[in-house]
Amino acid sequence: MSHKPRKRFGQNFLHDKMVIQRIVNSINPRQGDHIVEIGPGEGALTELVLDKIGVMDVVELDRDLIPLLKIRFVLNDGLNIHQADALKFNFCQLQKDEKKLRIIGNLPYNISTPLLFHLFDNSHCIQDMHFMLQKEVVDRIVANPGDSAYGRLSIMLRYFCHAEYVFTVKPGAFRPAPKVDSAIVRLVPHDKPPVEINNFDEFSKLVNFSFTQRRKTLRNILKGKLDVEQIEALDIEPTIRPERLSLEDFTKLANIISG
Protein backbone atom coordinates (compact mmCIF):
# COMPACT_ATOMS: atom_id res chain seq x y z
CA MET A 1 0.00 0.00 0.00
CA SER A 2 1.16 3.54 -0.71
CA HIS A 3 -0.03 6.97 0.30
CA LYS A 4 -0.32 10.02 -1.93
CA PRO A 5 1.90 12.70 -0.36
CA ARG A 6 -0.10 15.70 0.82
CA LYS A 7 1.17 19.18 0.10
CA ARG A 8 -0.59 20.70 3.11
CA PHE A 9 1.45 18.46 5.39
CA GLY A 10 4.65 19.17 3.47
CA GLN A 11 5.07 15.45 2.73
CA ASN A 12 8.03 14.25 0.67
CA PHE A 13 8.68 10.56 1.32
CA LEU A 14 12.19 9.10 1.20
CA HIS A 15 12.51 6.15 -1.15
CA ASP A 16 16.25 5.96 -1.97
CA LYS A 17 17.50 2.92 -0.04
CA MET A 18 21.13 4.03 -0.10
CA VAL A 19 20.25 7.43 1.36
CA ILE A 20 18.03 5.83 4.00
CA GLN A 21 20.84 3.46 5.01
CA ARG A 22 23.28 6.36 5.18
CA ILE A 23 20.93 8.25 7.47
CA VAL A 24 20.63 5.22 9.76
CA ASN A 25 24.41 4.89 9.82
CA SER A 26 24.69 8.56 10.82
CA ILE A 27 22.17 8.10 13.63
CA ASN A 28 23.93 4.88 14.75
CA PRO A 29 20.96 3.46 16.70
CA ARG A 30 21.88 0.96 19.41
CA GLN A 31 20.01 -1.41 21.67
CA GLY A 32 18.67 0.53 24.65
CA ASP A 33 18.32 3.84 22.77
CA HIS A 34 14.96 5.54 23.15
CA ILE A 35 14.37 6.88 19.64
CA VAL A 36 11.41 9.03 18.65
CA GLU A 37 10.74 9.68 14.97
CA ILE A 38 8.80 12.74 13.86
CA GLY A 39 6.77 12.20 10.69
CA PRO A 40 7.54 8.54 9.87
CA GLY A 41 5.52 8.77 6.63
CA GLU A 42 5.31 5.30 5.13
CA GLY A 43 7.93 3.94 7.52
CA ALA A 44 11.00 3.64 5.27
CA LEU A 45 13.42 5.00 7.89
CA THR A 46 11.34 3.57 10.74
CA GLU A 47 11.81 0.01 9.52
CA LEU A 48 15.61 0.06 9.54
CA VAL A 49 15.82 1.80 12.91
CA LEU A 50 13.23 -0.48 14.51
CA ASP A 51 15.13 -3.54 13.27
CA LYS A 52 18.17 -2.35 15.21
CA ILE A 53 16.59 -1.31 18.52
CA GLY A 54 13.32 -3.28 18.77
CA VAL A 55 11.21 -0.53 20.35
CA MET A 56 10.60 3.08 19.30
CA ASP A 57 8.01 5.86 19.23
CA VAL A 58 6.74 7.74 16.19
CA VAL A 59 4.71 10.96 16.07
CA GLU A 60 2.55 11.32 12.95
CA LEU A 61 0.04 14.08 12.19
CA ASP A 62 -1.63 12.56 9.10
CA ARG A 63 -4.43 10.24 10.31
CA ASP A 64 -4.50 8.41 6.97
CA LEU A 65 -0.92 7.21 7.45
CA ILE A 66 -1.65 5.51 10.79
CA PRO A 67 -3.45 2.47 9.28
CA LEU A 68 -0.65 2.06 6.72
CA LEU A 69 1.96 2.06 9.47
CA LYS A 70 -0.05 -0.45 11.50
CA ILE A 71 -0.28 -2.78 8.51
CA ARG A 72 3.41 -2.46 7.67
CA PHE A 73 4.46 -3.21 11.24
CA VAL A 74 1.63 -5.58 12.16
CA LEU A 75 4.11 -8.25 13.25
CA ASN A 76 6.15 -5.83 15.36
CA ASP A 77 4.60 -4.70 18.62
CA GLY A 78 7.64 -2.53 19.43
CA LEU A 79 6.35 0.43 17.40
CA ASN A 80 4.38 2.95 19.47
CA ILE A 81 2.39 5.29 17.23
CA HIS A 82 1.23 8.70 18.48
CA GLN A 83 -1.22 10.53 16.23
CA ALA A 84 -0.39 14.13 17.11
CA ASP A 85 0.90 17.49 15.93
CA ALA A 86 4.64 17.55 16.69
CA LEU A 87 4.46 21.33 17.19
CA LYS A 88 2.20 20.78 20.21
CA PHE A 89 3.45 17.38 21.37
CA ASN A 90 5.13 17.04 24.78
CA PHE A 91 8.11 14.87 23.89
CA CYS A 92 9.34 14.63 27.45
CA GLN A 93 6.23 12.63 28.41
CA LEU A 94 7.78 9.72 26.48
CA GLN A 95 10.87 9.66 28.67
CA LYS A 96 11.28 6.62 30.90
CA ASP A 97 13.76 5.94 33.69
CA GLU A 98 15.38 9.34 33.05
CA LYS A 99 16.90 8.00 29.82
CA LYS A 100 17.14 10.85 27.34
CA LEU A 101 15.42 10.70 23.96
CA ARG A 102 17.04 10.57 20.56
CA ILE A 103 14.83 12.44 18.07
CA ILE A 104 14.97 11.78 14.32
CA GLY A 105 12.88 12.79 11.33
CA ASN A 106 12.41 14.06 7.82
CA LEU A 107 10.83 17.36 8.84
CA PRO A 108 8.31 19.23 6.67
CA TYR A 109 10.08 22.34 5.39
CA ASN A 110 7.15 24.61 6.22
CA ILE A 111 7.34 23.95 9.98
CA SER A 112 11.01 23.09 10.48
CA THR A 113 12.11 26.27 12.28
CA PRO A 114 9.19 26.54 14.77
CA LEU A 115 9.47 22.80 15.40
CA LEU A 116 13.17 23.12 16.25
CA PHE A 117 12.41 25.82 18.82
CA HIS A 118 9.60 23.71 20.27
CA LEU A 119 12.06 20.84 20.68
CA PHE A 120 14.54 23.14 22.42
CA ASP A 121 11.83 23.78 25.02
CA ASN A 122 12.03 20.01 25.62
CA SER A 123 15.84 19.82 25.32
CA HIS A 124 16.40 18.79 28.95
CA CYS A 125 15.09 15.33 28.04
CA ILE A 126 16.81 15.04 24.63
CA GLN A 127 20.20 13.44 24.00
CA ASP A 128 20.51 14.37 20.32
CA MET A 129 18.55 15.01 17.14
CA HIS A 130 19.10 13.99 13.52
CA PHE A 131 16.91 15.78 11.01
CA MET A 132 16.44 16.06 7.29
CA LEU A 133 15.88 19.72 6.50
CA GLN A 134 16.03 22.01 3.51
CA LYS A 135 19.74 22.49 2.75
CA GLU A 136 19.39 26.26 2.94
CA VAL A 137 18.13 25.94 6.53
CA VAL A 138 21.00 23.63 7.52
CA ASP A 139 23.47 26.07 5.94
CA ARG A 140 22.01 28.81 8.14
CA ILE A 141 22.14 26.61 11.24
CA VAL A 142 25.85 25.78 10.91
CA ALA A 143 27.01 29.17 9.52
CA ASN A 144 29.74 31.11 11.32
CA PRO A 145 30.08 34.89 11.80
CA GLY A 146 30.93 36.47 8.46
CA ASP A 147 29.33 33.72 6.36
CA SER A 148 26.61 34.82 3.92
CA ALA A 149 24.14 32.35 5.48
CA TYR A 150 24.83 33.57 9.04
CA GLY A 151 21.80 35.05 10.76
CA ARG A 152 19.21 34.78 13.53
CA LEU A 153 18.89 30.99 13.27
CA SER A 154 22.68 30.56 13.47
CA ILE A 155 22.84 32.57 16.70
CA MET A 156 19.79 31.14 18.44
CA LEU A 157 20.68 27.51 17.75
CA ARG A 158 24.22 28.06 19.06
CA TYR A 159 22.70 28.94 22.41
CA PHE A 160 20.72 25.70 22.60
CA CYS A 161 22.95 23.13 20.92
CA HIS A 162 26.01 22.08 18.96
CA ALA A 163 25.18 21.63 15.26
CA GLU A 164 26.96 19.52 12.66
CA TYR A 165 26.28 19.31 8.91
CA VAL A 166 26.22 15.57 8.10
CA PHE A 167 25.55 15.23 4.36
CA THR A 168 23.53 16.55 1.41
CA VAL A 169 20.51 14.73 -0.08
CA LYS A 170 19.45 15.40 -3.67
CA PRO A 171 15.76 15.82 -4.69
CA GLY A 172 15.63 12.44 -6.46
CA ALA A 173 15.75 10.62 -3.11
CA PHE A 174 12.15 11.73 -2.41
CA ARG A 175 8.65 11.12 -3.71
CA PRO A 176 7.63 13.64 -4.93
CA ALA A 177 11.00 15.28 -5.60
CA PRO A 178 11.27 18.71 -3.94
CA LYS A 179 12.64 21.63 -5.94
CA VAL A 180 15.62 22.12 -3.59
CA ASP A 181 18.43 20.09 -2.05
CA SER A 182 18.04 18.73 1.48
CA ALA A 183 20.62 17.96 4.15
CA ILE A 184 21.01 15.95 7.33
CA VAL A 185 21.97 17.89 10.44
CA ARG A 186 23.01 16.54 13.86
CA LEU A 187 21.99 18.65 16.87
CA VAL A 188 23.28 17.94 20.38
CA PRO A 189 21.70 20.07 23.15
CA HIS A 190 24.15 21.69 25.56
CA ASP A 191 24.19 20.34 29.11
CA LYS A 192 24.73 23.96 30.14
CA PRO A 193 24.19 27.07 27.98
CA PRO A 194 27.51 28.38 26.60
CA VAL A 195 26.70 31.95 27.71
CA GLU A 196 24.81 33.54 30.61
CA ILE A 197 21.91 35.62 29.33
CA ASN A 198 20.22 37.89 31.88
CA ASN A 199 16.98 38.34 29.95
CA PHE A 200 16.36 35.82 27.17
CA ASP A 201 13.42 37.75 25.69
CA GLU A 202 15.57 40.86 25.39
CA PHE A 203 18.36 38.81 23.83
CA SER A 204 15.99 37.22 21.31
CA LYS A 205 14.48 40.59 20.38
CA LEU A 206 17.93 42.10 19.86
CA VAL A 207 19.08 39.28 17.59
CA ASN A 208 15.85 39.35 15.58
CA PHE A 209 15.85 43.14 15.18
CA SER A 210 19.54 43.25 14.26
CA PHE A 211 19.08 40.87 11.35
CA THR A 212 16.05 42.75 10.04
CA GLN A 213 18.50 45.69 9.82
CA ARG A 214 21.47 43.64 8.68
CA ARG A 215 22.81 46.23 6.19
CA LYS A 216 23.12 48.84 8.95
CA THR A 217 26.10 49.21 11.26
CA LEU A 218 25.80 48.23 14.89
CA ARG A 219 25.84 51.79 16.20
CA ASN A 220 22.87 52.67 13.98
CA ILE A 221 20.97 49.52 14.95
CA LEU A 222 21.48 50.26 18.65
CA LYS A 223 20.78 54.00 18.42
CA GLY A 224 18.77 54.99 21.47
CA LYS A 225 19.76 51.83 23.34
CA LEU A 226 23.57 52.00 23.57
CA ASP A 227 26.04 54.72 22.55
CA VAL A 228 29.36 54.20 20.80
CA GLU A 229 31.34 54.33 24.05
CA GLN A 230 29.22 51.61 25.65
CA ILE A 231 29.64 49.35 22.61
CA GLU A 232 33.41 49.89 22.50
CA ALA A 233 33.63 49.15 26.24
CA LEU A 234 32.46 45.60 25.38
CA ASP A 235 35.37 45.18 22.91
CA ILE A 236 32.94 45.33 19.99
CA GLU A 237 33.51 47.57 16.96
CA PRO A 238 30.47 49.90 16.52
CA THR A 239 30.93 50.11 12.73
CA ILE A 240 30.51 46.37 11.98
CA ARG A 241 27.29 44.79 10.78
CA PRO A 242 25.33 42.12 12.71
CA GLU A 243 26.56 39.19 10.57
CA ARG A 244 30.02 39.71 12.11
CA LEU A 245 28.80 39.37 15.71
CA SER A 246 29.19 36.13 17.66
CA LEU A 247 26.78 34.62 20.19
CA GLU A 248 29.03 36.03 22.91
CA ASP A 249 28.88 39.53 21.37
CA PHE A 250 25.09 39.52 21.22
CA THR A 251 24.97 38.25 24.80
CA LYS A 252 27.15 41.11 26.07
CA LEU A 253 25.05 43.68 24.23
CA ALA A 254 21.73 42.21 25.41
CA ASN A 255 22.91 41.99 29.02
CA ILE A 256 23.88 45.67 29.02
CA ILE A 257 20.60 46.72 27.40
CA SER A 258 18.57 44.68 29.90
CA GLY A 259 20.54 46.17 32.80
- Mean pLDDT (the chain, rounded): 93
58/68 Cα distance (integer angstroms): 13
Q: What is the mean pLDDT of residues 53-69?
A: 93
pLDDT at 2: 52
Q: What is the pLDDT of residues 242-251, one digit of tens each?
A: 999 999 999 9
The SS3 of residue 67 is: helix
Question: Which CATH superfamily is 200-257 part of?
Answer: rRNA adenine dimethylase, C-terminal domain (1.10.8.100)
pLDDT, tens digit, 9 for 90 and up, residues 133-190: 999 999 999 999 999 999 999 999 999 999 999 999 999 998 888 889 999 999 999 9
Mean pLDDT score, 120-139: 96
Residue pair 74/50 in contact (Cβ under 8 Å)? The answer is: no
Q: Which amino acid is at 217?
A: T
Phi, psi (degrees; rounded to nearest 5) at 34: -105, 95
pLDDT at 108: 83
Reported as a pLDDT band with limits 50, 70 and 90, residue 9 is very low
CA gap 127, 152 in Å, rounded: 24
Measured CA distances, 85 to 60, 123, 150, 184 (Å): 7, 18, 30, 22
Span 92-105, pLDDT tens digits: 999 998 899 999 99
- The Cα 8–Cα 130 span in angstroms is 23
Cα 131 vs. chain centroid, distance in angstroms?
7
Nearest alpha carbon to residue 31 among 58, 65, 6, 54:
54
pLDDT at 140: 97
Label the pairing between strands 101-106 and 34-38: parallel
Q: Is the pLDDT of residue 60 over 90?
A: yes
What CATH number does domain 7-189 carry, 3.40.50.2300, 3.40.50.150, 3.40.640.10, 3.10.20.30? Answer: 3.40.50.150
Residue spans per domain, the chain? 7-189, 200-257
Strand locations in the chain, DSSP E?
13-14, 34-38, 56-60, 79-83, 101-106, 126-134, 161-169, 174-175, 182-189
Q: Identify the pLDDT of residue 5.
A: 46
Comparing CA positions, the residue from 57, 72, 53, 55 lying closest to residue 13 is 72
76: exposed, middle or buried (C-beta count within 10 Å: 0-12, 13-18, 19+)?
Answer: middle
